[in-house]
Amino acid sequence: MVKKISLLLAFVLVFVSGALAQESNGDETFKGFDPGRYIVDEVLDHYEWEIFKIKNTDVSIPLPVIVYSKLRHKFYAFCSCKLREGHKYKGFFIPEDGKFRGRIVELDAQGNRVRPIDLSITKNVLAIWISVLILFWIFIPMAKRYQQNPLSPPKGFHALLEPLILFIRDDIAKTNIGEKYEKYLPYLLTLFFFIFLNNLLGLLPFFPGGANVTGNLAVTGVMATFTFVITTVSGTKHYWKHIFWNPEVPWWLKVPIPLMPLVELTGVFTKPTVLMIRLFANILGGHIVRVTFITLIFIFAAFGVAAAYGVSIISVLFVVFITFLEMLVAFIQAYVFTILSALYFGMALETDEH
């Protein structure tokens, strides 16, 4: 079934891309609808949280804008609703095109667009905070209950979470880090549940889900940096020796040109970079695929109502299928990020005796 659908979709895609190629001259729009723009906008961060849009009525949650103007050396905080539809407020506006499209800019004396230091509470920041509140709401009462009767087995939702906690403790931390795993366990647990929850929330099509948090390079980058810092800080003598003067490598690869140390040192940085990119790309990919299938309906709407209905059936079926797949991916990516972090900690903790 899935095979047939995917085959059919492949044909549809080929057809659409053909149609796009014929019509495309810079901006491909279908009756004013620009699919490429729409898809990218869907996965990007915004200054407000759009809930739905009917005709020209935009229902969205305005979020606070906090910027520090480098030109005026001053902080500004105001509602993002002031900047709607290209309005200017206190010299700030959101351009619709150019290098800084969709990001708050101000104009300098020469009329050039300059980015202020932007600390706005954007859609993704709010989504992160919501997920954090959910984490607190889940785990702090759970901890209380556990403290009150530590000997009774978990019940209900806790019985679902405890195997995950045990899985991270036994199969991720203990196996990869070794004896000193307990020190790293809180970080690994936080990491896993943060990623997993945000991945799942990202699959929800409406508020408070739908934000592309874990598919954002800044978010994955911060988490990868945490892993990198912890790895570097816990590195033993053996770990650094292995990087700069690996005894298993012949000397001429180290002197006079430090080839291997260079490769190893690069590895130190590539490891967290790969972590960052893997999670980002997987989640972003899932989002884009799902949005794309929905977008297909709008593209076909440009060809006629019948085409739109026909495609919508296939599209919706496929989005459902992809969503199930993404649920699996949500878990797998959280797991992979956590296990690799644990693995790096384990490598950093290695000593001579083994």
For other proteins, the closer of residues 121 and 253 by Cβ is 121
For other proteins, the closer of residues 260 and 339 by Cβ is 339
Tokens at 256, concatenated: 């006079």
For other proteins, the closer of residues 185 and 343 by Cβ is 185
Could you tell me the smallest distance in angstroms from the CB atom of residue 264 to other proteins? 27
Could you tell me the smallest distance in angstroms from the CB atom of residue 346 to other proteins? 19
Of 82, 86, 83, 108, give the one whose Cα is nearest residue 97: 86
The rounded distance, in Å, linking the Cα atoms of 83 and 66 is: 13
The rounded distance, in Å, linking the Cα atoms of 22 and 136 is: 52
> How many Cα atoms are found within 13 Å in the side-chain-facing hemisphere of 281?
6
The rounded distance, in Å, linking the Cα atoms of 214 and 287 is: 10
Could you tell me the smallest distance in angstroms from the CB atom of residue 212 to other proteins? 10
For other proteins, the closer of residues 144 and 354 by Cβ is 144
Q: Which strand ranges, in their side-by-side order, compose the sheet holding 64-69?
A: 74-79, 64-69, 117-118
What is 320-349 written as a DSSP string?
HHHHHHHHHHHHHHHHHHHHHHHHHHHHHH
For other proteins, the closer of residues 8 and 133 by Cβ is 133
For other proteins, the closer of residues 16 and 43 by Cβ is 43
Q: How far is CA 198 from the centre of its chain?
A: 8
Tokens at 42, concatenated: 């869907």
> Which residues are near other proteins by CB under 8 A?
40, 43-45, 66, 101-103, 117-122, 124-125, 128-129, 132, 135-136, 139-140, 142-144, 146-147, 150-151, 153, 162, 165-166, 169, 182, 185-187, 189-190, 194, 216-219, 221-223, 225-226, 284
Please enumerate in sequence order all residues whose Cβ is within 8 A of that of 117, keeping only pairs 6 or more positions apart, or say none. 67, 68, 70
For other proteins, the closer of residues 190 and 323 by Cβ is 190
For other proteins, the closer of residues 66 and 325 by Cβ is 66
3-state SS of 236-287 is: CHHHHHHHHCCCCCCHHHCCCCCHHHHHHHHHHHHHHHHHHHHHHHHHHHHH
Could you tell me the smallest distance in angstroms from the CB atom of residue 259 to other proteins? 30
Hey, how many other C-beta atoms are within 10 angstroms of the C-beta on 155? 8
3-state SS of 63-88 is: CEEEEEECCCCEEEEEEHHHHHHHCC
Could you tell me the smallest distance in angstroms from the CB atom of residue 17 to other proteins? 20
Could you tell me the smallest distance in angstroms from the CB atom of residue 299 to other proteins? 21
Could you tell me the smallest distance in angstroms from the CB atom of residue 61 to other proteins? 17
Could you tell me the smallest distance in angstroms from the CB atom of residue 263 to other proteins? 25
